[in-house]
Amino acid sequence: MGKSKISANSVSGHRCRTIAVALCIIFYFECTPNSARNLSFCPKSLLLSLLIQRNATNYLSSQTNFQRIIPLIPYVQVIRHIFFFTILCTYLAACQDDDSIDFIPVYDVPEDYQEIVDLFVDEAAVRGIELTIDNLIVLEDPDLPFDLCGSCNASDLNIKVQRIVSIHPRRCWPNNLQKEALLFHELGHCILGRSHTSALLPNGDFKSLMVPSNIGVYSPCVYQFGGAADDCNFTFKRTYYIDELFDPDMPIPDWAR
Ligand SMILES: [Zn+2]
């Protein structure tokens, strides 16, 4: 559950910004006033070529003409700074657009799962959290590994990416509360941005519904092998686990002390 698969589109903006900053830094430091070897590739040489109405490369090929450039260098320094910040800001703005303009979230939840998504929103509201879910696809994916009941593609809320909860078609839940726990766990990733935790409560029970590969933390009995009838009934723990889902700092419940 909750296998994080960040899409390539989601990192393009970060990569774009990194490349832009790197290019600008190289551009800036390579184009120092004394760096005649790269001068023809620098903004200042292009400006100089405009100023003196001549081709920059030809101009620099002449030592005499290069001497004539030197008095212009203080002005070129100012222009260089303006160029640098203009180009940097332009690149960064373009990268930002890459993330925000191209992304249009889709909401597509089959009827079979919609009821649980609605319940997730209701449980949040009961706890004072207003959730509007407009970026969510729930689908059954036969390509999921067999031992995975479900998966969310991205749990980092800072990344603008289509949120997709994939469910294995074998439908591994033996009862509706385990189906709910599976969906709530995946929505914990996709909507709340929560990560896995295998922390334990004092009695040895898992602390959170965000434990990997366990959708039975508040399940009713599935199989009963002797013992008291309620020994395998954990439904009384449901309130705590949903409280903790929306607030990881929830105090330890009495039943776990
Ligand atoms: Zn998970």
DSSP, res 71: G
| Distance of CA 197 from the midpoint of ligand 1 (Å) | 9
Tokens of 50: 């405009």
Domain parsing of the chain, residue ranges: 8-100, 107-256
Amino acid identity of residue 64, one-letter, is: T
| Distance of CA 1 from the midpoint of ligand 1 (Å) | 4
Per-residue pLDDT of the chain (257 residues; tens, 9 = 90+): 544 333 333 445 566 667 667 766 666 665 555 544 445 556 555 555 555 555 555 555 555 666 666 676 666 667 767 766 677 767 666 665 555 567 899 999 999 999 999 999 999 999 999 999 999 999 999 999 998 999 999 989 988 999 999 999 999 999 999 999 999 999 999 999 999 999 999 999 999 999 999 999 999 998 766 666 677 899 999 999 999 999 999 999 999 99
| Distance of CA 226 from the midpoint of ligand 1 (Å) | 32
| Distance of CA 21 from the midpoint of ligand 1 (Å) | 35
Tokens of 27: 């551009």
Q: What is the pTM of this model?
A: 0.64
| Distance of CA 233 from the midpoint of ligand 1 (Å) | 23
| Distance of CA 88 from the midpoint of ligand 1 (Å) | 39
C-alpha distances in Å from residue 3, one per residue of 48, 124, 170, 220: 55, 23, 18, 26
| Distance of CA 177 from the midpoint of ligand 1 (Å) | 17
**In the prediction, which pLDDT does 18 show?**
72
**In the prediction, which pLDDT does 223 show?**
79
| Distance of CA 115 from the midpoint of ligand 1 (Å) | 20
**In the prediction, which pLDDT does 9 show?**
39
| Distance of CA 210 from the midpoint of ligand 1 (Å) | 6
Is beta strand 150-152 parallel, antiparallel or unpaired with respect to 164-167? antiparallel
| Distance of CA 188 from the midpoint of ligand 1 (Å) | 8
| Distance of CA 138 from the midpoint of ligand 1 (Å) | 15
Are 234 and 224 in contact, with CB atoms under 8 Å apart?
no
| Distance of CA 92 from the midpoint of ligand 1 (Å) | 34
| Distance of CA 189 from the midpoint of ligand 1 (Å) | 7
